[in-house]
Chain A
Amino acid sequence: MRKCLVINLDRCTGCDGCVVACKFENNIGLGHYWNRVVTVGPTGTHPDIEMYWLPAQCQQCENPACVHVCPTGASYRDAETGVVLVDKSKCIGCKYCMMACPYGVRCFNEQEKVVEKCTLCSHRTADGSQLPNCVVCCTTGARFYGDLDDPNSDVSKELAKYDEDCIHRLSDDAGVHPTTCYILSPKVAAWKELS
């Protein structure tokens, strides 16, 4: 079971709606984000340029560095849903996981002195009744949620519409095997590996 988001960058217009939907849903304070939209580009020289937007949140890695480095077991993979989560009651705020995460998508809650990150809206999704709020609110229908191992899930169906050269994952120098997939067709923009 590999629950994750698939984000179709051919559709995403960088409106930041998912950022705000996430903040409202998860009661995230000012200056903190479980989800950011990165503007990639424009690359090239005007007017021969291209640009796309990359919403970045927990990549739900198959080999999550955050879980490996956590000294207390606060970062863990949920046995039932397979989702990588933080058990805040166990978190001691050492921030090792923030340093280990190659994608910088965890943030520190100053009030509670714990690390937080995207939960795939587990409070909505765990029982299968609802979708993550960012998926629901996405203004262009660019975000999909589901199990990559289930061919009938929304994520698998969306990926099935595209050729291999349109499907990308964030670069994996750390060998964490992110599951989150991004769809970007070469005709829209060339995928850029971000350092």
Chain B
Amino acid sequence: MNALLATTLALAGLGFGGLAFTRSSVVHAATLVMAALLLLAGAMLALSAGLAAALMILVHAGAIVAVLLFIALTTPAASGRNSRPLALVRAALLLSPLAALMVLGVAALPAGLPQAAPPVAAVGQLLFGPWAVGVELASLLLLVALIGARQLLRRDPEDRR
């Protein structure tokens, strides 16, 4: 039952995500992507992954896409009109072999049984125990991205005058 609910919510999210790239306005597209992310969070909640669902709502939909919305609303050049010619044909040609390979890979997986929700402490023990190096690498990546963003937006001394 929970797996069925999760699949339905994820499918609805996929529909919203697909709709986003038919829009010409980036604000409309970002709103649809936000709805897709919230539905995905619902799907994760149905799979008893409450922590992942909360993170998706707070960080992905609540922070990243919200900042993108602010940027789209406050910069003048955010126009979504420029779409490439013959986009559907080019995308289908590029993606169909890849899609076929991925579907074959998924079909070859063994089926499993759903599990009960683990305590959040188990996630923490995993992150700061065996996965500590990976978590440190992710934090290093964030630091480098922060420095890179600051460097990209640095103003030249003559611009300040």
Pairing of A with B? no
A interface residue numbers (CB < 8 A to B)? none
B interface residue numbers (CB < 8 A to A)? none
